[in-house]
Each structure stands twice: as structure tokens, then as C-alpha cells.
């Protein structure tokens, strides 16, 4: 009897295990969320067909940065959020409504950078650049993030080129910065350009002007948009920059900051204008240019493109920010800089049909036929590249006739044909695509022959006109 009880118990346990497996199998499978095949709103892919414009911007800005003595710096896309709150201003639209902020798993309060200069100023202090020869000129490019309503040429993820100079208070540096900004857009083919300049004074003279401006705006309170009524209490200068028609009309009759500058700011602005006249730059004084960041002092400016009588487009701007380094914990340091929006510039380039960058075209095409030839062609292609000969190929695709059709479409001068026989003999057939003349050449003499036929030591790379 004890043995029988034991068997019965085992059967019950086994049966219970089967039931559990059946219950598990009856559960519904976990739902897999489908992949959304598009970027988030306000983000944009930059496809290969767009890249010639981007490459043109990169090449022009990097060359001008080098020519004007700017050294490249790259700072993180993510910083501690209080860096931006302190530097940009807690009551600015950027900090209040547009910053992407989050808490990391380690508990740090972080933000995606909404602008470049604060991070560069942080690096200036952190790495002791104050002891470097002055001015310290820095150039940077990269992505910015603002949770704002996406608009033409301005996305939630957008790109900017940035020029900053630290340690010099002379207005000649302001003029040089404006000149660099002008040269960038001019070299990109934007000829109808206007520089709008203003001075918003220093903290001492701005207080008196601010009180005067608030008094005027309060008398026009009923004519302001809802955002500007809020700005009136926190950041009244931003009312002057509002794009709403009714606010623009109010701003056009507002007191002007240039009429209420202290002696130091007045002399600084007068000297700047004299330098701009000397450079023969197309500028106008616009009292409504104030910029949207709290750290600006004295000079502010914007770069606009467009027809004189038609619609104008803002491409970027900047100004002087003599108090920024001290705000974030460094010593009192003069500084000036500007940023240009890459998407805005490219949009304007397309509008006026400015030419993008043209990559150098290959003058040689390598065609191969057969398995052995395919293996040999990889090494041959590498040899051509090492010797500065820009070649095209169509590895793994089509017969000889279809490959030569590709070569013809590319407009190459020479086709190098490597078949089974050539691969075994250590030769290549060289075909002149214009005349159809063919000759067989040994591999060890091929490079020299190509250079001779192309009448150059190397393939000539296309140079952009400036």
C-alpha cells in the first residue's frame, strides 16, 4: 500500500505540471509595437541629394574660419540644464518653453543644447583659456534642439555654424565678426544681403532705457499680443522683436535704445559703425534688433537675405556678450560672436538657385568580368586610390556591356577592363571612351600610363569659386 500511494502521488504531480504548461501556452503573445517609419515631428533626414548644399556650407565656413584665425572646438550636445538657465536667462522663451530637459538615470538635470555659445563659454572657463593669447577665437558647428513649433527653415533639430571670440573689448572685433558673417553668406552665393545692427547698451544704461520702454509699452498694453503682455513683465526688450503685425506697429514707435546709451556704449557703437563704413558693408541701424538671449550687451546684429523690395529672410545673428563668462563663474571677460542657421541658408540658396558644391568627377572606370577578375579588381581599385586617381566602379553588377554604359553615363575618359584572361596575364585593357581605341597594359605600368593620358600627376579636384 505505501508503494501504491507513492505512484499515485507522482502521477498527480506530473499531471499538474502538464496543466501549467497548457495554461502558459494559452496566454496571448506579447504585442510588438510597430516601428514608425518617419522621424519625430520637427526632425528631418538629410538625404544624399541634399548633401552637396551641406558640403558647400561646411567647406566655406571651415575655410573662412581658418583664414580669419579661428580654431575649431566641439562641445557636447548634452549639458547640465542650469548652464543654459543661468546664461540664457530663466525668463527667456528658450528656457521657459523651448528647452528639451530631462533627468538622467544618475539623477543629473540635463538639457539638449538650445544654442552653442553657453557650452563654449563653459569650456573656456573649465580649461583655463583665459591665459591664452587674446582674443581666443573659436569656431564650431553642430545640432541644436528647441521644442518650438516647426517652421520653414527652422526645425526642432537644426544645425548652426558658430563663431566666438573671447578677451577683446575693442569694437574692431565686432566689425570683424559682422564681416565674417557677411563673407560666409556671400561665398555661398547669397548676394542680396543686409546687415541689421543695433546697440542695447550695458547693464547700467539699459536699466534706465528699460524703465522708459516699459512705461511706453504699458500705455499700449491693449495692442500687444498675449505673449508680449507676459514679456512686458519679465523681458520687455523681446516685445521689440515680436513678429506679430500689431506688436511690430507698437515697436516701431517705441523709444530707441541707441538714444539712451551711456558714454562708453555710445562711443563703442559709433566706432563700430565707422569700421563697417570702412569695410563698405551693406548695413542699416534697426532699433528692433535686440536678440532673444539675456547675455547680450552693447552690439547686436542680424544677417538678412532677400530682394530689396521683396520678402527678406533671417539667416542668423549675434552680438557682444561681455558678461557671460562671469555669469557662469569665470572672471570678467569681453566676448563677441554670432551663429548662422544652416537650414535657413540652404533654403535661401535653393530659392535663388545658388550653386551647391560639385564633387570631383571620376575620370576612370574599372570594369571587371569573371570571378578571378572580380577578386583582382579590388586590389587594383585600391592602387588607383592610393595614387590619387579618382575611379568609379560597379562591382558585382551586370555584364561588360552594362558596365560600360555606366561608364559612358559618368562621362569618364578611360575604362579599365579586367577579364579572366587579363587577370591571369597580369594585364588590363585600357579603352579611350571618346575614340574607342583600346590597348593592353601590364599592371606595373598602368598607373603611369593613366597619369600620362589624363595629362596630370593626379586627377584635378574641382575648386569652388569665391
pLDDT tens for residues 43-52?
999 999 999 9
Q: Among 33-37, 109-113, 235-239, 429-433, name the one with the lowest average pLDDT.
A: 235-239
pLDDT at 1: 47
Q: Is residue 116 predicted with pLDDT exceeding 60? A: yes
Rounded average pLDDT over 209-214: 88
- Distance, CA of 61 to CA of 67 (rounded, Å): 10
Using alpha carbons, select from 393, 371, 397 the residue that is nearest to residue 384.
393
Using alpha carbons, select from 330, 318, 324, 346 the residue that is nearest to residue 162.
318
Is the previous residue joined to 342 through a cis bond, with omega within 30 degrees of 0?
no
What fold does the segment set 364-453 form as a domain?
Rossmann fold (3.40.50)
425-438 as b/e, with b when 16 or more CB fall inside 10 Å? eebbbbbebeeeee
Dihedral pair phi/psi, residue 30, rounded to 5°: -65, 130
The DSSP-derived string for 367-422 is: EE-SHHHHHHHHHHHHHHHHTT--EEE-TT-S-HHHHHHHHHHHT-SEEEEE-HHH
Q: Which H or E run includes 18?
A: helix 2-25
- Distance, CA of 317 to CA of 342 (rounded, Å): 12
Rounded average pLDDT over 65-88: 95
How many Cα atoms within 13 Å fall on the side-chain side of residue 384? 25
Given CA atoms 276, 282, 285, 289 in this order, what sign does their dihedral have? negative
User: ∠ CA 126-141-304 to the nearest 5 degrees?
Assistant: 120
Rounded average pLDDT over 317-337: 95
Q: Is residue 306 predicted with pLDDT exceeding 90? A: no
Rounded average pLDDT over 316-325: 95
Rounded average pLDDT over 282-304: 90
Who contacts 427 (Cβ-Cβ below 8 Å, separation ≥6)? Answer: 440, 441, 442, 443
pLDDT at 312: 82
For domain 48-202+262-351, is the CATH number 3.30.930.10? yes
Annotate 272-317 with three-state secondary structure.
Answer: HHHHHHHHCCCEEECCCCCCCCCCCEEEEEEEEEECCCCCEEEEEE
Question: If you compute the radius of gyration of the chain from its CA atoms, what whole number of angstroms results?
Answer: 32
Query: Which residues, in sequence order, are bridge partners of residue 312?
Result: 306
Using alpha carbons, select from 97, 44, 82 the residue that is nearest to residue 292.
97
Rounded average pLDDT over 326-333: 94
Spatial contact of 462 and 52, defined as CB atoms under 8 Å apart: no
7 or 166, which is more confident?
A: 166
Q: Which grid cell sits at 129?
A: 583659456
Who contacts 421 (Cβ-Cβ below 8 Å, separation ≥6)? Answer: none
Q: Is residue 7 predicted with pLDDT exceeding 80? A: no
Does this model's pTM top 0.75? My answer is: yes
Q: Is residue 140 predicted with pLDDT exceeding 60? A: yes
Torsion of CA 236, 304, 114, 272, to 10 degrees: -70
pLDDT tens for residues 384-437?
999 999 999 888 767 888 889 999 999 999 999 999 999 999 999 999 998 899
pLDDT at 262: 94
Who contacts 209 (Cβ-Cβ below 8 Å, separation ≥6)? Answer: 201, 255, 257, 260
Spatial contact of 135 and 173, defined as CB atoms under 8 Å apart: yes
How many Cα atoms within 13 Å fall on the side-chain side of residue 367? 21
pLDDT tens for residues 222-260?
888 888 888 887 788 888 888 788 888 888 888 899 999
As a whole number, the mean pLDDT across the chain is: 88
The DSSP-derived string for 85-154 is: HHHH-TTSHIIIII--EEE-TTS-EEEE-S-SHHHHHHHHHHTTGGGSSSSEEEEEEEEEE--S--BTTB
pLDDT at 248: 85
- Could you tell me what percentage of the chain is helix, strand and coil, using 3-state DSSP and rounding each to the nearest 5? 45, 20, 35
pLDDT at 149: 83
Domains of the chain, by residue range, sit at 48-202+262-351, 364-453
Query: Which residues, in sequence order, are bridge partners of residue 151?
Result: 154
Q: Is residue 182 predicted with pLDDT exceeding 60? A: yes
Model confidence band, residue 310 (pLDDT cutoffs 50, 70, 90): low
93 or 298, which is more confident?
A: 298
pLDDT at 186: 95
pLDDT at 55: 97
Q: Among 70-79, 101-110, 311-320, name the one with the lowest average pLDDT.
A: 311-320
Model confidence band, residue 277 (pLDDT cutoffs 50, 70, 90): very high
pLDDT at 25: 55
Using alpha carbons, select from 321, 66, 342, 326 the residue that is nearest to residue 173.
321
Rounded average pLDDT over 289-312: 84
Given CA atoms 57, 60, 62, 68 in this order, what sign does their dihedral have? negative
pLDDT at 21: 53
- Distance, CA of 61 to CA of 161 (rounded, Å): 8
Cβ neighbours, 10 Å, residue 209: 21
Spatial contact of 365 and 393, defined as CB atoms under 8 Å apart: yes
55 or 87, which is more confident?
A: 55
pLDDT at 412: 93
- Distance, CA of 256 to CA of 197 (rounded, Å): 13
Amino acid at each position: 500500500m505505501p508503494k501504491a500511494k507513492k505512484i499515485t502521488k507522482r502521477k498527480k504531480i506530473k499531471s499538474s505540471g502538464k496543466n501549467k504548461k497548457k495554461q502558459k501556452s494559452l496566454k496571448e503573445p506579447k504585442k510588438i509595437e510597430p516601428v514608425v517609419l518617419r522621424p519625430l515631428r520637427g526632425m528631418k533626414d538629410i538625404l544624399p541629394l541634399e548633401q552637396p548644399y551641406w558640403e558647400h556650407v561646411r567647406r566655406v565656413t571651415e575655410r573662412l574660419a581658418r583664414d580669419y584665425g579661428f580654431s575649431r572646438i566641439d562641445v557636447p550636445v548634452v549639458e547640465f540644464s542650469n548652464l543654459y538657465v543661468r546664461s540664457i536667462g530663466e525668463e527667456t522663451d528658450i528656457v521657459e518653453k523651448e528647452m528639451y530637459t530631462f533627468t538622467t538615470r544618475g539623477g543629473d538635470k540635463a538639457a539638449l543644447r538650445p544654442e552653442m555659445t553657453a557650452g563654449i563659454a563653459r569650456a573656456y572657463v573649465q580649461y583655463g583659456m583665459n591665459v591664452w593669447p587674446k582674443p581666443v577665437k573659436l569656431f564650431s558647428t553642430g545640432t541644436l534642439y528647441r521644442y518650438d513649433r516647426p517652421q520653414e527653415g527652422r526645425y526642432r533639430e537644426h544645425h548652426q555654424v558658430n563663431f566666438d571670440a573671447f578677451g577683446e573689448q575693442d569694437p574692431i572685433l565686432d566689425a570683424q565678426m559682422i564681416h565674417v558673417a557677411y563673407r560666409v553668406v556671400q561665398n555661398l552665393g547669397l548676394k542680396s544681403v543686409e546687415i541689421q545692427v543695433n546697440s542695447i547698451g550695458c547693464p547700467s544704461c539699459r536699466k534706465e532705457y528699460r524703465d522708459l520702454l516699459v512705461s511706453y509699452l504699458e500705455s499700449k498694453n491693449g495692442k500687444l499680443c498675449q505673449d508680449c503682455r507676459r514679456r512686458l513683465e519679465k523681458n520687455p526688450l523681446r516685445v521689440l522683436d515680436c513678429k506679430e503685425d500689431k506688436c511690430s506697429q507698437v515697436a516701431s514707435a517705441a523709444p530707441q535704445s541707441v538714444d539712451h546709451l551711456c558714454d562708453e556704449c555710445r562711443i563703442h557703437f559709433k566706432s563700430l559703425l565707422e569700421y563697417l563704413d570702412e569695410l563698405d558693408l551693406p548695413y542699416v541701424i534697426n532699433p528692433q534688433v535686440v536678440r532673444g538671449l539675456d547675455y547680450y550687451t552693447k552690439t547686436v546684429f542680424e544677417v538678412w537675405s532677400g530682394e530689396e523690395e521683396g520678402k527678406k529672410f533671417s539667416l542668423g545673428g549675434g552680438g557682444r556678450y561681455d558678461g557671460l563668462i562671469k555669469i557662469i563663474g569665470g572672471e570678467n571677460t569681453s566676448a563677441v560672436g554670432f551663429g548662422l542657421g544652416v537650414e535657413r541658408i540652404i533654403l535661401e540658396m535653393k530659392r535663388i538657385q545658388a550653386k551647391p558644391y560639385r564633387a570631383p568627377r571620376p575620370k576612370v572606370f574599372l570594369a571587371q568580368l569573371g570571378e578571378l577578375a572580380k577578386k583582382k579588381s579590388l586590389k587594383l581599385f585600391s592602387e588607383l586610390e592610393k595614387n590619387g586617381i579618382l575611379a568609379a566602379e560597379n562591382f558585382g553588377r551586370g555584364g561588360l556591356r552594362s558596365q560600360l554604359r555606366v561608364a559612358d553615363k559618368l562621362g569618364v575618359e578611360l575604362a579599365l577592363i579586367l577579364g579572366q584572361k587579363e587577370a591571369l596575364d597580369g594585364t588590363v585593357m585600357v579603352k579611350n571612351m571618346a575614340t574607342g581605341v583600346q590597348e593592353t597594359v601590364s599592371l606595373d605600368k598602368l598607373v603611369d600610363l593613366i597619369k600620362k593620358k589624363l595629362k596630370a600627376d593626379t586627377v584635378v579636384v574641382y575648386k569652388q569659386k569665391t
